[in-house]
Chains A and B, each alone.
Chain A
């Protein structure tokens, strides 16, 4: 029991990165094969979906199958025509930031409910924290209890595409705006060893529309924020962070569900590379416990 309680607590943090976040499944596969479980999972934006599947208790294979059906291109394909008109004639039709999104969210909400039902975050098998951003003051918000579907919906509220989402009276938007790889949430919740997987947002090859322009800007700022946060955490060194920042040789678009196997495989390869170091860190924990 003494060993158990003083064992190092391992967290998995999955940053924003749309379908690339599936690489987290690869990490889960490798670590569960090694008998290493997570004491906590943190997810941001699309990473929140993968983190939730793990926290619910799905194996890597099931999670892969489920996301192949859940997070597909169709979720953003239906336009919200009213939103377009409101953006063009804000005064006449009434422009409200809390309801503005150029894409209709009915499909993604339906799929999230189908997958997660009425689950509450605090009841899941593994403690889960989902991050979003407070729309009014820009602060990072960690959701650690309450409706799972609401938390995921807030975390993936990509500006302009999906409308913000209200949780406990706060209007929330996509977690990547405040921190694309929220290591701090795992640290504050007592993680000793953090396995973190993060992704740079892709840059546009051409900027041929206002939408692509906006995407390019948000990629520039969030990638710089990712680097800055990461530099801070490696310097501050509050916890051991094993960072996995996969660089996919194949270009993976936002909803390249066809590349899911490739992405998961890359996650597995990256995790295998880090295994010796992770084993060493966890062994140090055990020795410490025995001598204490």
Chain B
């Protein structure tokens, strides 16, 4: 009988999705946030990732508790990665007719990036993750948002992080895909469509360029403007439409973080923790984290009912 009650409890519990938006290196803040959620006992039933967030979502979905270690290993491999400039890009951009120019144009040689992704997720397929995982990219030709949920994680992640002009787009199932942030920097709707009741949305605003002294910085500034507008607009829409409970976790960053700022990882993870901690009381009420343990444990485990108070210092 008691087991039956417990099972009903589990079935009736709202399903929780974590959505990790685009934000380059800033996305590692999500690791700190996830750590806080796990410590508080927040159940996570689905992970959605976009651009830089797709890597964290993949770690989350594969269920590794040691995500930090994996992250730091990945970050180590980032060293120097964004310095392998593809010198063929210059003649292509200047004389497209002679050297050939196409959608696959990029300034960076992507071999190190591809190797790092394989190193991080291997040949794992979507079907093998512990909880369902969705990765968002953008169709380069039509601009549509594309949700990836089959095949290899490495292909999906590579497509999702294809920062325009920096990394070349990636072909998946015959579609040329680019950075998911170009269509939706925080794809909360993917979790809604999958039926999530509570959506924890980890998003990151881009910082304006500190100085604009060349064309590339100008391109990035224009991109920053639109992506931030898109992020705010999508969040405004989700909060008005209220199809599901959306809890944004947006870390307060006091500095600009670039892709190569590997030294800021600890700072980012800490800010991710702080941002998540602010939402824990609300999540506890919403998910009745304390109440659930009381009713499932029953009177025989009375001391356990005081656990929520003691574990929340």
Contact = CB atoms under 8 A, between A and B. Distances in A.
Interface of A: 87-88, 90-91, 95-97, 100, 133, 135-138, 140, 159-160, 173, 177-179, 203, 207-210, 213-214, 216-225, 228-229, 231-232, 235-236
B241 A159 contact: no
B143 A97 contact: no
Contact of A228 (B138, B141, B230): B230
A100 B103 contact: no
B212 interface: yes
B142 A90 contact: no
B182 A208 contact: no
B237 A221 contact: no
A220 B93 contact: no
A135 B143 contact: no
Contact of B103 (A97, A178, A213, A229): A213
B140 interface: yes
Interface of B: 93-94, 96, 101-103, 105, 138, 140-143, 145, 164-165, 178, 182-184, 208, 212-215, 217-219, 221-230, 233-234, 236-237, 240-241
Contacts of B145: 224
Contacts of B236: 232, 236
B233 A235 contact: no
Contact of A133 (B103, B140, B143, B225): B225
Contact of B237 (A87, A177, A232): A232
Contacts of A208: 96, 101-102
Contact of B105 (A138, A210, A220, A221): A210
A117 B184 CA distance: 42
A87 B236 CA distance: 37
A218 B222 contact: yes
Nearest to B230: A225
Contacts of A219: 143
B145 to A, nearest CB: 7
A95 B103 contact: no
A14 B100 CA distance: 38
A210 B214 CA distance: 15
Contact of A224 (B105, B140, B182): B182
Given A90-B214, A209-B93, 18 more contacts: A91-B213, A100-B215, A135-B225, A138-B229, A203-B143, A207-B101, A207-B105, A213-B164, A214-B219, A217-B164, A219-B143, A221-B223, A221-B227, A225-B230, A228-B230, A232-B233, A232-B237, A236-B236
A203 B141 contact: yes
B247 to A, nearest CB: 19
Given A203-B142, A224-B145, A235-B240, A229 B212 contact: no
A100 B218 contact: yes
A87 B227 contact: no
- Judged by DSSP, the binding face of A is helix
B50 to A, nearest CB: 12
Contacts of B237: 228, 231-232, 235
A218 B102 contact: no
Max chain B Cβ within 10 angstroms of own Cβ: one of A96, A135, A137, A228? A228
A217 B102 contact: no
B208 A221 contact: no
Contacts of B141: 203
Contacts of B218: 97, 100, 159-160
21 contacts: A90-B214, A95-B214, A95-B215, A138-B208, A140-B229, A159-B218, A159-B222, A178-B225, A213-B105, A214-B219, A217-B165, A217-B223, A220-B140, A221-B182, A221-B230, A224-B145, A231-B237, A232-B233, A232-B237, A235-B237, A236-B240
Given A178-B229, A210-B96, A232 B103 contact: no
A80 to B, nearest CB: 13
A132 to B, nearest CB: 12
Max chain A Cβ within 10 angstroms of own Cβ: one of B143, B178, B213, B240? B143
Contacts of B222: 159-160, 173, 177, 218
Contact of A179 (B140, B164, B229): B229
Max chain B Cβ within 10 angstroms of own Cβ: one of A160, A178, A208, A217? A217
Contacts of B138: 220
Contact of B234 (A138, A221, A228): A228
A177 to B, nearest CB: 5
A209 B145 CA distance: 24
Contacts of A222: 226
Nearest to A178: B229
Nearest to A138: B225
Contacts of B234: 228
Nearest to A223: B143
B21 to A, nearest CB: 14
A160 B141 CA distance: 21
A97 B96 contact: no
B143 A220 contact: yes
A138 B224 contact: yes
Contacts of B102: 207-208
Given A137-B208, A213-B105, A217-B164, A177 B226 contact: yes
